[in-house]
Amino acid sequence: MRLEPIANPTALRQAGLPLLALAATVVAGSLLALVAGADPFATLGLIVKGAAGSKFAALETLNRATPLIFTGLAVAVAFRARLWNIGAEAQLYAGAIVTVILGTGAIGSPMVLPVTVLAAMLAGALVLLGPVLLKTRLGVDEVVTTLLLNFIMLLFVGYLLEGPMKDPMGMGWPKSAALVKEARLPRIVTGLRLHWGFALALIAAVAVWLIQTRTTLGYEMRAVGQNIRAARFAGIPVNRVLVKTALLSGGLAALAGYSEVAGLKGHLTKDISPGFGYTGIIVAMLALLHPLGVIVSALFVAGIFVGADSMSRAAGVPTYIADMLLALALLFMVLAILLTRFRVVRG
Amino acid sequence: MTPAPAEAREVVLRLDGITKRFGALTANDAITLALHRGEVVALLGENGAGKTTLMNILFGHYTADAGTVTAFGRPLPPGNPRAALAAGIGMVHQHFTLADNLSVLDNIRLGTESLWRPGAGLAAARAKVAALSRDFGLAVHADAKVASLSVGERQRVEILKALYRDARILILDEPTAVLTPQEADALFATLRRACARGLSVVFISHKLHEVMAIADRCVVLRHGRVAGEVDTHATDAAALAALMVGGAVSPPDATPGVAGPVLLRLANVSTTPEGEAVGLRAVDLSLHAGQITGLAGVSGNGQAALADLMSGLIRPSAGRMEVAGAPPKGWSPRRAVAAGIARIPEDRHKTGTIADFTLTENAILECYDRPGFARRGWMDWRRAEAFTRGIIARYDIRCPGPQARIRLLSGGNMQKLILGRVLEPGPRIILANQPVRGLDIGAISYVHGRLLAARDAGAAVLLVSEDLDEVLQLSDVIHVMSEGRLSPPFARGTMGAADLGLWMAGQGFAGGADAA
Amino acid sequence: MWEILISASFWAAAIRIASPLIFATMGELICERAGVLNLGIEGIMVAGAFTGWIAVYGGAPLWWGVGAAFAAGALFGLVHAALTVPFGLSQHVVGLGVTMLATSTSYFAYRLLLPEVTSPPKIEPFAPMDIPVLSDLPFLGPVLFSQTALTWAAFAVAGVVALVLYRTPLGLAVRAAGENPAAVAAQGLSVTGIRVGAVVVGSGLMAVGGAFLTLSAFSSFFFEMVNGRGWICIALVVFGAWAPGKAVLGAVLFAAFDALQVRLQQTPLGAALPYQLFLATPYVLSILALIVMSRRAEVPAALMVPFNKGER
């Protein structure tokens, strides 16, 4: 077999194949439910119901989507420039740490909110800066360095929570002190369990979209990602663009940590992220790296997680079905995207 | 040696009615060709005439839509690369298919032994390679790593690979593109030896004089069809050229340019070699306004380093570079553009354009952040599109519009967009690196016309080309590069192809050909 | 410190810790030598650890467990290869996807098969060999000859990989496929076949590396047990300059550092420092190894370059 480029793919092909990928994921989900001895339709129904069947469920999904929008944007920005940032998890925790440091009384109101946001972004950006400088200066592959930094960062968080940042009132639990009230992100509507972090995520997505389509930096990032050789030849400062991309990407990932601490939890524990950084890769790929698409795919991914949790309690199918489905959706989707542009021919 | 009439000898390979379509394009249209034992048949045609497609079909990389291939009287199954090899057909590709990390012997052995049996035949393989290289005059060191070999040596390894598999038919795709005229003569001697031993050769080329020198017969392809088949002893180069392009060829009307002041000067400039690439060695070069300076040479002798230097990608490691009379402050692609250098890169697909970008996005690659196109970091896409529309109109680019992705364009139209991008600002210096490679005749004369017009408008043009004929036709002054050194300038008309060939082979340089 | 370095138990531990790394590093090395980066390694090791363990827990003999792990790894390798080789999809994205798929599949199956357990059940793992005479040798006895059979297998596998790569036509084809696939295709060999085969076999070995954790090092399966070892193995391939011998050396060296940090934790100085510092050393060392080796140019030329035949 051989791949042959399609000069002008039809709209049907461009829209149909990604939908087919999602349909294949649904089929896979049904099969997995069958394997687990449950009724496939009931299982899928329970997932949908658990994700959006009630006000509580929908709010839960929105809350879960918030950090995923941030990490999804972080990955989308980086991947667009062919910068393989697999370290959103570490950058997320960097943002969370800074949020706790500044939010537990170091800065008085009312400056605490904006300062903390910026400082958290800066911390995340710096965490990614190291691997990117190693890449541009020494040619060290950033995939492995960012991956390894995730483990180092998690150990560092563990050290902080058992040592200098440990909450003296925490009854021995490894958790930080709680944020002061002024440092907390308020709820959007009083009484509804949804904080301003979600709105911040939407703003971030629009901002990233504007940067990518309307600014010279966005143009440079896309040029570097599409063809680094042509970009360099044309005079685009490739290394500087990669560094700027890294700062933006790391900053976005850090906002996930910020909003989880300042919006949802109010303090830092080792498990504030159940792999949001890694899941961000799925979110970004399902969105075809489009910043506004990230919002939709983050809602979808969050819905699967929240829905699977509730389904698992009711139907007894292990909750890891959500992770499996999302991994499958990722693989189906990259194949579908390829097939929108190439056809498989014999010989 | 007068060969027996070809018709009297056995037909070893026959292609019959081969047709291959790619979408709307018919790359091969009912091509029929016969090769006899012991003869050299040239397959002549312009780039895009269908030569490569035909060979890919013969080798089973593509399956033909119609037609058959017969080798030694037996039909070859379509789409099976092993079948052609097993039938005794060996191919020397234009781009060598050697693994740099392996030794010569390992490259030759690759694929000849069963994958599942440990290599027992190593000694036998070594002996066979030694015998072959002796018999055919192909000297190479069997244990050398391919990475350390010169281009000529690599080609010998490729031929040995085919002979090692007992090929009875050798197919060579543009084999002289990477050789000096003298190395090409040595190759021809090897081929004659091979024919005397009963091998048959298909020689793919677009160079007329070579075809006249080596081939017994010549099959001319044009637009995927056989345009004619002639006995080389009964024709001449002009007649072949007419067959090739479908009409009499008129060389471009290149009246001599009028030399103005020096716009770019290199004095004793060297560059650091990168990897296997050759660096510049103490090069002196002056580009005058109003002149085309031609740079001849076998590919890989430092032309890339000179082009990279002028493009701003590298800096001199020694010596002095002056642009418009003064050494530039800092040196980068951006500075080169700012200094008024128009850069037409060698590879328009990989370096010159970004395939998935639109025409507009490609047109502004070198000026996207200049005033007019951007303000405080925000793009003005309307201006960019208007700029592109202007280029499309003035450079006669056939395309669906400025929002079309550039990968949908033909090579000629792509090159015209690059021309527009670099010529619109009115450059003082033009670097044209292989500007017409792979283009059809129409696009070639368009590009040459634009370069001549820019020269007449006062630009200093450096034309880098591996095609000696192109250099001789257009240049007011010619330099030759060999192993990173630059010959003195030769004025138009003072040197012929043979004289330049000696310089290309490294003769004439101070210190002799072997000086390191 | 010096006392630790000359003690037999320290080196015995180093060899033991190196074993799973050697399996997985050899697996990754085979893939990369053929031109395919396999970021599925981390998840494939999880799948191997789980499959080997569940097979033995279900009553299979230990070596069958190893075989089951290999098969599971090969299966996920096939997924990676099918998407990256003929389709030429991003090896980064697909590899991470395979890691997520293999990990979640293992966890899903674990919860499905053992819904009720709270603490992970144990199996009877590979026992250290006791060879007459050899095991009683001073120093060498405990270091080399009182290891489990799976440790020996790790070193044997490394030898076989080196032998096949450098001494057989198959190895020649694999090395050529990672350097210039066009050379392989021009000789009538199938680049797709060679690359898919290399990824499948390599992934099988990675899974055996994972199975070492459950079948030899520990005796039960628990979540997060692979804990970045896969990523470390990718660094070890770079550190070993894509050569099996050097990679084994790197793995042992690395394991020695790991064994050392465990012992240093128990010294008075170590007790004064946060234990996380010691736990982070493997990851820091891996990054340092990548930096040190960054200037070397042995990387297979066609690594991560898809091959579409007929395209030249």
Q: In this predicted structure, what is the pLDDT of residue B5? A: 55
Name which residue leads in pLDDT, C202 or B82: C202
List of long-range contacts for A48-57, beta carbons under 8 Å, 24+ apart: A48/A303, A48/A307, A49/A307, A49/A310, A50/A306, A50/A307, A50/A308, A50/A309, A50/A310, A50/A311, A50/A314, A51/A302, A51/A303, A51/A304, A51/A306, A51/A307, A51/A310, A52/A303, A52/A307, A56/A193, A57/A306, A57/A307, A57/A310
Cβ of C180 and B95 within 8 Å?
no
Beta strands in chain C (DSSP E): none
Residue C132's pLDDT band, with cuts at 50, 70 and 90, is confident
CA-based nearest distance C72→chain A, Å: 16
Residue B178 within any structural domain of the chain: yes
Over residues C223-234, the pLDDT tens digits come to: 999 999 999 999
Q: In this predicted structure, what is the pLDDT of residue B516? A: 35
Does C301 contact B at CB distance below 8 Å? yes
CA-based nearest distance B72→chain A, Å: 24
* Chain C residues closer than 8 Å to A139 by CB: 294-295
* Chain A residues closer than 8 Å to C227 by CB: 151
Residue B513's pLDDT band, with cuts at 50, 70 and 90, is very low
Domain of residue B417 covers: 348-426
B174 and B82 within one domain: yes
Please state, rounded to an integer, the average pLDDT across all residues of chain A.
Answer: 93
Backbone φ/ψ region at B87: left (φ over 0), alpha (ψ -120 to 50), beta:
alpha
Cβ atoms A347, B78 nearer than 8 A: yes
Of A98-112, B110-124, B441-455, C288-302, minimum mean pLDDT range: B110-124
Q: In this predicted structure, what is the pLDDT of residue C213? A: 96
What is the number of residues in chain A?
A: 347
B422 and B451 within one domain: no
Residue that finishes a domain, picked among B227, B245, B263? B245
B509 and B376 within one domain: no
> A293 to each of A19, A205, C71, how far by Cα in Å?
14, 9, 38
Name, of A254-258, A341-345, B299-303, the range with top average pLDDT.
Answer: A254-258
Per the structure, how many domains does chain B have? Answer: 3
Q: In this predicted structure, what is the pLDDT of residue B147? A: 87
**Complex-level ipTM:** 0.94
Q: Mean per-residue pLDDT for A22-27?
A: 96
Residue B247's pLDDT band, with cuts at 50, 70 and 90, is low
Q: In this predicted structure, what is the pLDDT of residue C23? A: 98
Residue B49 within any structural domain of the chain: yes
Name which residue leads in pLDDT, C227 or C146: C227
Residue that finishes a domain, picked among B393, B426, B459? B426
Cβ of C100 and A138 within 8 Å?
no
B336 and B220 within one domain: no
Question: How many whole angstroms separate alpha carbon A65 and alpha carbon A296?
Answer: 9
Nearest-CA residue of chain C relative to A1? Answer: C86
Residue B17 within any structural domain of the chain: yes
Instruction: Please say if the pLDDT value at position B248 is more than 60.
Output: no
Q: In this predicted structure, what is the pLDDT of residue C188? A: 85
Of A6-10, A208-212, B146-150, minimum mean pLDDT range: A6-10
List of long-range contacts for A112-116, beta carbons under 8 Å, 24+ apart: A112/A180, A112/A182, A112/A183, A113/A182, A113/A183, A113/A185, A116/A183, A116/A258, A116/A262
B106 and B182 within one domain: yes
Chains A, C: CB contacts under 8 A, how many? Answer: 121
SS3 A329: helix
SS3 B90: strand
Single-letter amino acid, residue C14: A
- In A169-188, the residues whose Cβ lies within 8 Å of chain C are none
Of B87-96, B285-294, B303-312, C62-71, minimum mean pLDDT range: B87-96
Please state, rounded to an integer, the average pLDDT across all residues of chain B.
Answer: 87
B304 and B184 within one domain: no
Q: In this predicted structure, what is the pLDDT of residue B2? A: 47
B145 and B69 within one domain: yes
| Edge-to-edge strand ranges of the sheet holding B262-270 | B283-288, B262-270, B318-323
The residue among A143, A148, A156, A328 with the most chain C CBs within 10 A of its CB, best to mutate, is A148
Q: In this predicted structure, what is the pLDDT of residue A224? A: 97
- In A311-330, the residues whose Cβ lies within 8 Å of chain C are 316, 318-321, 323-324, 326-328, 330
Chains B, C: CB contacts under 8 A, how many? Answer: 87
Over residues A119-148, the pLDDT tens digits come to: 999 999 999 999 999 999 998 989 999 999
B291 and B265 within one domain: yes
Name which residue leads in pLDDT, B8 or B487: B487
Instruction: Please say if the pLDDT value at position B118 is more than 90.
Output: no
| Number of CB atoms found within 10 A of residue A336's CB | 19
Residue C163's pLDDT band, with cuts at 50, 70 and 90, is very high
Does B313 contact A at CB distance below 8 Å? yes
* Chain C residues closer than 8 Å to B79 by CB: none
**Chains contacting B (3+ CB pairs below 8 angstroms):** A, C
Name which residue leads in pLDDT, B31 or B511: B31
Residue B261 within any structural domain of the chain: yes
Q: In this predicted structure, what is the pLDDT of residue B505? A: 78
Q: In this predicted structure, what is the pLDDT of residue C1? A: 67
B265 and B236 within one domain: no
Q: In this predicted structure, what is the pLDDT of residue A108? A: 73
Q: Which of B52, B95, B386 is nearest to B221 (CA)?
A: B52
SS3 A2: strand
Backbone φ/ψ region at B351: left (φ over 0), alpha (ψ -120 to 50), beta:
alpha
CA-based nearest distance A58→chain B, Å: 38
Single-letter amino acid, residue B456: D
Residue B252's pLDDT band, with cuts at 50, 70 and 90, is low
Percent of chain C's residues with pLDDT above 90:
70
Residue B199 within any structural domain of the chain: yes
Instruction: Please say if the pLDDT value at position C30 is more than 80.
Output: yes
Cβ of A338 and C89 within 8 Å?
yes
Instruction: Please say if the pLDDT value at position B58 is more than 60.
Output: yes
Residue B148's pLDDT band, with cuts at 50, 70 and 90, is confident
Q: DSSP string spanning B421-432? A: HHHTT--SEEEE
The CATH number covering residue B224 comes to 3.40.50.300
Instruction: Please say if the pLDDT value at position C96 is more than 90.
Output: yes
Q: Mean per-residue pLDDT for B443-468?
A: 92
Cβ of A215 and B78 within 8 Å?
no
The residue among B101, B117, B146 with the most chain C CBs within 10 A of its CB, best to mutate, is B101
Cβ of C182 and B102 within 8 Å?
no
Q: In this predicted structure, what is the pLDDT of residue B112? A: 86
| Side-chain half-sphere exposure of A69, counting CA atoms within 13 A | 29
Nearest-CA residue of chain C relative to B63? Answer: C310
Name which residue leads in pLDDT, B507 or B204: B204
The residue among A233, A236, A346 with the most chain B CBs within 10 A of its CB, best to mutate, is A233
Percent of chain A's residues with pLDDT above 90:
80
Q: In this predicted structure, what is the pLDDT of residue B246? A: 66
Q: Mean per-residue pLDDT for A86-101?
A: 97
Q: In this predicted structure, what is the pLDDT of residue C139? A: 78
Cβ of A232 and B333 within 8 Å?
yes
Torsion of CA C262, C265, C269, C274, to 10 degrees: 130
B446 and B305 within one domain: yes
CA-based nearest distance C9→chain A, Å: 27
Q: Mean per-residue pLDDT for A238-244?
A: 96
Residue B431's pLDDT band, with cuts at 50, 70 and 90, is very high
**Chains contacting A (3+ CB pairs below 8 angstroms):** B, C
Cβ atoms A162, C293 nearer than 8 A: no
Cβ of C115 and A316 within 8 Å?
yes
Cβ atoms A252, A118 nearer than 8 A: no
Q: Mean per-residue pLDDT for B97-120?
A: 86
Q: In this predicted structure, what is the pLDDT of residue B359? A: 96
User: Which residues are registered as beta bridge partners of B490?
Assistant: B478
Q: Return the structure tokens found at B44.
A: 């002549």
Q: In this predicted structure, what is the pLDDT of residue C312? A: 35
Q: In this predicted structure, what is the pLDDT of residue B512? A: 44
Q: In this predicted structure, what is the pLDDT of residue B492? A: 87
Name the residue among B62, B337, B353 with its Cβ closest to that of A230: B353
- In C138-197, the residues whose Cβ lies within 8 Å of chain B are 167-170, 172-173, 175-176, 179-180, 182-189
Q: DSSP string spanning A135-164? A: IIII---HHHHHHHHHHHHHHHHHHHHHTT
Residue B1 within any structural domain of the chain: no
| A176 phi and psi angles, rounded to 5 deg | -85, 170
Question: How many whole angstroms separate alpha carbon B200 and alpha carbon B138?
Answer: 18
Q: Mean per-residue pLDDT for A300-323?
A: 94
Q: In this predicted structure, what is the pLDDT of residue A63? A: 95
Cβ of C172 and B118 within 8 Å?
no
Over residues B394-405, the pLDDT tens digits come to: 999 988 899 999
Question: How many whole angstroms separate alpha carbon B168 and alpha carbon A115?
Answer: 78
CA-based nearest distance C311→chain A, Å: 9
Residue that finishes a domain, picked among B207, B222, B245? B245
* Chain A residues closer than 8 Å to C82 by CB: none
Please give the model's pTM, rounded to 2 decimal places: 0.90
* Chain B residues closer than 8 Å to C176 by CB: 99, 102, 106-107, 110
B448 and B332 within one domain: yes
Question: How many whole angstroms separate alpha carbon B294 and alpha carbon B471?
Answer: 5
Question: Residue C59: CB partners within 8 Å, gap ≥ 6?
Answer: none
CA-based nearest distance C134→chain A, Å: 39
Instruction: Please say if the pLDDT value at position C311 is more than 80.
Output: no
Residue B514's pLDDT band, with cuts at 50, 70 and 90, is very low
Over residues C183-216, the pLDDT tens digits come to: 998 888 999 999 999 999 999 999 999 999 999 9
Question: How many whole angstroms separate alpha carbon B301 and alpha carbon B316?
Answer: 17
Instruction: Please say if the pLDDT value at position C310 is more than 80.
Output: no
Percent of chain A's residues with pLDDT above 70:
100
Cβ of C111 and A318 within 8 Å?
yes
B197 and B109 within one domain: yes
Cβ of B333 and A8 within 8 Å?
no
Please classify residue A42 by burial: count the beta carbons closer than 10 Å to its beta carbon, then call 0-12 exposed, 13-18 middle and 19+ buried: middle
Instruction: Please say if the pLDDT value at position B178 is more than 80.
Output: no
Instruction: Please say if the pLDDT value at position B48 is more than 90.
Output: no
Instruction: Please give the span between the terminal C-alpha atoms of chain B, in angstroms, as a whole number.
Output: 41
Nearest-CA residue of chain C relative to B113? Answer: C169
